[in-house]
Amino acid sequence: MGTGFSFGIPGGAVSAGILAAAMVALVALGLRALRAEPRTTRRRVLYALRIATGLGAWAIAVQPRWLTQRFEERDGRLAVLVDASRSMGLPRDGEARQERARALLSRWADSERGGVSVFTFGERLEAADLERLAEEAPARADQSRLGAALAELVAGDDDLGAVVVVSDGADRSGFDPAGLARHGVRVHSVAVAEEGLRDDAIAEVQADAVGFLRRPARVRVVVRSLGGPGGPIPVTLRRDQEVVREVAVEVPANGEAAVEIPFTPERLGRAVYRVSVPRASGDAVPENDERAFLVRVVRDKLRVLLVAGQPSWDQRFLRAFLKRDPATDLISFFILRNTTDLTMAGPDELALIPFPTDELFNEHLGSFDLVIFQNFEYGPYQMASYLPRIREYVLRGGSFAMIGGPLSFHSGGYTDTPIADVLPVELPRRGASRTIAEGAFAPRLAEGMERHPLIELVPDPAQNAAAWGRLAELHGINRVTRVRPGAAVLLEHPSETTDERARHPVLVLGTAGEGRTLAFTTDTSWRWGITTGGLTGDPSAYERFWDRAVRWLSRDPTLEPARLTTDRERYGPGARVVVQGTLRDERYVPYAGEAIELVLLDAAGGEVARTTERLDREGRLEGALSLPDRPGAYRVEARRAGRDSGVAEEWLVVETGGDELADPRADAALLRRLAQATGGEHWARPEDAPALERIDATRRRSQGVDRTAPLSSPWAFVVVVGAFVAEWVLRRRWLGARG
C-alpha cells in the first residue's frame, strides 16, 4: 500500500497554508488578551481552549484527507530492451558502450529463466534474439526513442511484469518517466555510460528551409565543448566545397554557445550548406564536427512581365490584381499607340516611351518567373527576332501565358512562329478567315477536371459547378484549331467547336520542355469580378482564379498534384527514411491503387535504393528506404511502375553525425528516474546487473485510492463549536469576575 495526504479546499496546500497563517495571527491576538488572567492554571486552560478552537476551525475549513493507494501484485513476464542507437557505438577510442552491453547480454544468454522476450530500440521497437545480440550488439539506429519504445512495449500487455533496459539513456525527446508508472510494469535500468568524454561538436543547426536569391540569410549554429578547455572555436560555413564564411565562437568549458552566420544565396534551386568545426585533439566523436542543411533558394518576389496590346477593361483588372499582391514584382507595358497610328504631333512631343524590346527580351528575360502576352500583337514592334528567345525561355523552365483579344493568338500573327511552338493549342493556318467567334457564353467545366485547383471555386464538385453557373457570361473567343496532345482543357465553350468537332477550349494548360504555358482564349475574364459582383454581391471569383493561375504557372508547391514528404530532413548514415505522399495526375485525380516505385537518387542522379508501394483510394502512400553510409544530398523520387520519370520528389541530407551523435553524452540520471518512477531497480554499470533469474518481474497494478476525511463529519464541527463555547464561558466568568 501507498499513503498520501491532501486538502479538500480549492487551491490545496497553498490555500491551506494561507489560512494557517491567518489563523495563527488571530489566535496570537486572542492569547494576548488572555494574559490578564492572574492565575496560572486558569490562564493555561484558556490558552489551550483558544489554540484548540483555532486549530479545529482551520482543520474543518481545509478538510485534510488521508489517501491510501491499494496495489495488486502478481508474477509477470520479463522483457529485455536493448539500445541499438548509434550513440551506443561510442566512444570510438576506447571500449564502446555496445561492447560493455554485449558482455552483459552474453552473461544473460546463458540464463535458465524462460519466457524472456528480447527487443531492441532506436527509431522504433523491434523483436530480437538474445543470443544474436550477445554475439553482435547493433548500434546503427539514427535515434534513441526509449520513451516511445517503452510505451509501445507495455501498452495492452497484461502479462508483462517488468522490463530491463540496457541503454546509455541518450533519449533527448524529453519524455516523462512518471507516465509509465500507471501501467504497473516495473522498469529496471542498466546504465552503460562513461566519464570524461572529450568532444567538440556542432550540437544544433537552425536555418530557414527557404532562402531568397541574393538576399541575406542566417544560420544559427550551437557549438558544444565537452571535457576540454573551451575557448574560441572556429566555425566554417561551406556551400558544396566553397567556403562561404568563417567565424569564431567563444565556448565555455563543458558548455555551449550559439553564433549566427550570415550568408547570401547566389543561385536558384536546392542548395546544400555545411557547417563544421576543426577536430580537437582526443575528440571522441569526430562525426559530429560537421552538420549539413538544405535551403530551397527562390526569389523573394514573383517577377511577372505583363505586355498588353492596348488599354482595356481586361488589361486594367489584371494589372490591378498583380500590383496589389505584395509578393509580386510586376513589370507591365501596355501600348497606347503604334507606328501606324495617325497623330497631329511629332514623336518628340508625345509623352510615351519607346517599347524596350531589347532590354526586356534580350537582357532581362531570364529574370522573370512569368511572361504574359495580353491581347498583344508583336509585329508592329519589330519583335520577330525576339520570339525564339521567348521560346527558349519557356523550354528552359520559364512560364508563359497568352490571353485572348483581337490582337492575340492567330489575330496577333503568332501562327507558325516560335511562340506557337510552346502554346498548348494549335493556331489556325495563315490566311484563315474565321479566327474570332463573337457572342456571349457561359464557359463549361471540362469533364474530369473538376478537381483542378484553377477551376475549383469551392471544394464540393456539385457546389463548384453551381458556383460557375452564377458567374457572369464572357464575350467572344479567339478560335484555335485543336488542343495539343498532353495539354489539359479546363474550360470549354458551350456551343463552339474546333476543326475536330471537339468543344472549343477557353482555358488550356500545358507544358513545353521544362516550362509551363497557359492559353486563355477570351479577354473578358474581368466580368467575373465587377459584373458578377454586381449580380451576386461576390466579386471574388476573378481574383481567386487568377491567383491560382499565376501560382500554378510559377510552380507553387501547394498547387502541385503530386507531393512527397519525408519524416525528417537530415539523417545519419544507414538510417531509415519514411516517405509519405499524395500522388495525382494533371487532372488532380488520384492514381488510386497503382504501384509506385520510390527511388533514392544521389546528387548526380545515380540510383541508390528502390522500393515499391501501392497507393490507396485517395492516392496516398507510405514507404521506407534505407539510406547509404556516404554523406551528401539525396533525392527521393516517386515513379509510376515501369516509367523512368518521376511524378514527385523530395530532397534530404545524409550527414556523418546527425541528431543522434550531436549530443554524445550518456544520461544515467534519466535511467535512474525511470526505475524509481516505476518501482524498479537501477544498476550504474553493466557489471553490477544481476542474473536474469534474480530480477523481479512482479507486476504491481493500482487497485484504486481510498480517501479518508475524518473532519468531514458533523461531530467534528460540534466539537469545535463546543470548545469555542467553553472558552467563551470560562473567559466571561473568570475575567468578568475579576473585573
CATH number at residue 281: 2.60.40.10
Cell numbers placing 603: 546528387
Domain end residue (candidates: 558, 577, 607): 558
Check whether 191 has a pLDDT greater than 70. Answer: yes
Q: In this structure, are 630 and 579 located in the same domain?
A: yes
pLDDT for 81 equals: 96
Continuous segment of H or E residues that includes residue 360: none
* Rounded Cα–Cα distance for residues 399 and 27 (Å): 86
Cell readout for 737 is: 469576575
Would residue 69 count as lying in a domain?
no
Asked if residue 42 and residue 100 are part of one domain, the reply reads no
Determine the pLDDT at residue 1.
Answer: 47
Match 550531436 to its residue by C-alpha cell. Answer: 662
| Share of residues in the chain with pLDDT > 90 (%) | 55
| pLDDT (0 to 100) of residue 351 | 40
Give 367's DSSP letter: G
In a domain, 70, yes or no: no
The confidence score (pLDDT) of residue 639 equals 95
pLDDT band of 349, cuts 50, 70, 90: very low
For residue 439, the domain's CATH number is 3.40.50.880
Structural domain includes residue 644: yes
Q: In whole angstroms, what is the distance from residue 508 CA to residue 449 CA? A: 11
pLDDT value for 700: 65
Cβ count near 627 (within 10 Å):
22
**Beta bridge partner(s), residue 295:** 271
Which DSSP category does 703 fall into?
Answer: E
> Tell me, what's the pLDDT at 343?
46
Q: What was the pLDDT predicted at 5? A: 65
Does one domain contain both 285 and 335? Answer: no
Q: Chain-wide mean pLDDT for the chain?
A: 88
Q: Collapsing DSSP states into helix, strand and coil, what is residue 76? A: coil
Does residue 68 sit within a domain? no
One domain for residues 452 and 467: yes
Sign of CA dihedral 105, 107, 108, 114: positive
In this structure, the answer to whether residues 614 and 470 fall within a common structural domain is no
Q: Tell whether 157 and 115 lie within a shared domain.
A: yes
Residue 445 resides in a domain: yes
Domain boundary among 537, 558, 579: 558
Residues 10, 138 within the same domain: no
Same domain, 285 and 349: no
Clarify whether residues 471 and 494 are in a common domain.
Answer: yes
Q: Copy the grid coordinates of residue 555.
A: 510552380
Same domain, 609 and 506: no
pLDDT for the residue numbered 381: 81
Are 578 and 540 members of one domain?
no
Residue type, 725: V
Q: Taking the model in full, what pTM does it have?
A: 0.69
In 3D space, the residue among 495, 491, 494, 332 whose CA is nearest the CA of residue 425 turns out to be 491
The Cα–Cα gap between 427 and 484 comes to 10
Structural domain including 265 reads 199-293
Cβ-count burial 227-266 (b if 16+ within 10 Å, e if not)? bbebeebebbbbbeeeebeebebebeeeebbebebebebe
Whole-angstrom distance, CA of residue 90 vs CA of residue 701: 37
Check whether residue 337 and residue 418 sit in a common domain. Answer: yes
| Number of domains comprising the chain | 5
C-alpha cell belonging to residue 569: 530532413
Distance CA 492, CA 425 (A): 13
Per-residue pLDDT tens for 596-640? 999 999 988 899 999 999 999 999 999 999 999 898 899 999 999
Mean pLDDT of 719-733: 77
